[in-house]
Structure 1
Amino acid sequence: MTVRISDLHIAREDALPTPQALHEELTCSADQAAFIAAARAGVRRILRGDDDRLLVIAGPCSVHEPASAVDYAGRLRALAEREADTLLVVMRVYFEKPRTRMGWKGLIYDPGLDDSGDIGEGLRAARRLLLECARLGLPAASEILDLITPQYYAELLSWGAIGARTVESPLHRQMASALSAPLGFKNTTQGGVGVAIDAIHVAGQSHRFPSISLQGQAIVVTTTGNPDAHLVLRGGADGPNYDAASVAAAAQALAAAGLPARLLVDCSHGNSAKDWRRQPEVAADLARQVAAGSRAIAGV
């Protein structure tokens, strides 16, 4: 009798379309691609200090209903146009939720919000929404959480993030080296920036690792490194880190590591004590720092 030793905890398997099939089903037009490329270039100029505008990444914690997100995008686009001389506004369009414990994992994993787990439809919904943002002329940002799903939509992002729970992951660091958009690494949930600075350095290097191709084939990719990885201060268990002293210390740590001393500051999470009503207070403090001459703050 043969003893079964594999797939002991697999209940079922469902096929997904290949990334290429989804790209062909929901195609990025030449105009949309040109817009995304231009938006990324704008983000890069701000991060490098070549553009005096501030980068502003704004939007809901996560997308749970695409129609509402499209309505929000239209409203945000109007504000972005009005403030375009001083701000580059990018919409936060988050599809995957990192969970410390169990909970809704995001639109990609459960688009019906009913535990049905229709990931194929979730990927379609995510790609469809990002294409709509590009059609509206609004750059989009998202956290890169899964190692496979970026092949389905990441080319539509103008900015990406590696979150506080995955910033130490070697797999996410090497994946970041392959991504085409500028990418922010958040400090750890405790609040330290050293791990994120290490991640920025690693993501900027060439890596060779297994992945899947657009055709769904297992491959090995060799990357060139992402030159636009940067630090995002989001506070942590040790307290907020948006104050002038914390920003200056982080900038000095970046410079000491041979990295550009430019960073973003998250007005939420640990910096607002997880109270959304405090975000304007954080933003106002950062505005005062910029007005006082801080060159470290590239955006929020």
Structure 2
Amino acid sequence: MEKDNFVIRAMHKSEVDIAINWAAQEGWNPGDCDALSYYCADPHGFLIGLLNNQPIAVISAIKYDTAFGFIGFYIVKPEFRGQGYGYQIWQAAMAYLSGCNVGLDGVVTQQDNYRKSGFELAYRNIRYEGVLETAHFKNQSQPDGATICEVDEDLIEGYETQFFPAQRARFNLQWRAQSNACALNLKKSGKICGYGVIRACQTGYKIGPLYADCAQNAKALALALISEVEKNVAGPVTVFIDTPEQNSAAVAVAESLGMSIAFETARMYTGKFPDLPIGQTFGVASFEIG
């Protein structure tokens, strides 16, 4: 796509870091090693807009399958905003996802603009932030009838499938294999009943996803993940969790850890809201990829 020396094309693998770095500059606090995981989700889904061969706009349009996609990393360099370049790359992304039910986590104030493209609000996601030391929660860190252990790779794919509208096994595998990440699951009677990943970000550490069958187990799993970080970090750990607001138990867990609201997003879809176990979703993997 080309107009007035503005070209939109798919990013090369090495260019995904441009979107990551711009997201960091916007204060979105991406993970240090997120780029490869995002690329694994859809190698064709990152678009870049070049003006006179210089990058000025990015967006991700991850097509998980022919039925579901997710928009993220919608950023135009500040000096080029309001000139139509963002709208052009937005249109290119939506064209790539044509025929899909498309989801996004957008800035709440932009909901009206997203509605013009057919998106409707499903619920809010809230980012909680806290500076934590697990020693303060010793009496609250025991799971209810479950065991916290390393991820069971034979069972985890089947467990994760229920939490997302499309199959994304390749992304999930790379997500927990990041060099700066730790993944744990909860098992009860030989079955997985909880799963979480913590990874280093530009600032602090982010837990996501965080799934569990109950609030007590979600909290125990979160504290176990933070404890793994504490083995290599001196002092308290700055932690973020992105929680679906409509899961009141998840909100209660974050608040019981002394975390406070950092900001929020609007989870929106162009089609029917996916039937997902929100009551067991205590933290989403990423605002940028769903």
Q: Which has the higher helix share?
A: 1
The two structures share one fold, judged by TM-score above 0.5: no
Higher strand share: 2
**If the length of structure 2 is used for normalisation, what is the TM-score?**
0.29
> So what's the TM-score if we normalise by structure 1?
0.28
> Per chain length, whose mean CA-contact separation is higher, i.e. which structure has more relative contact order (CA < 8 Å, sep 6+)?
2
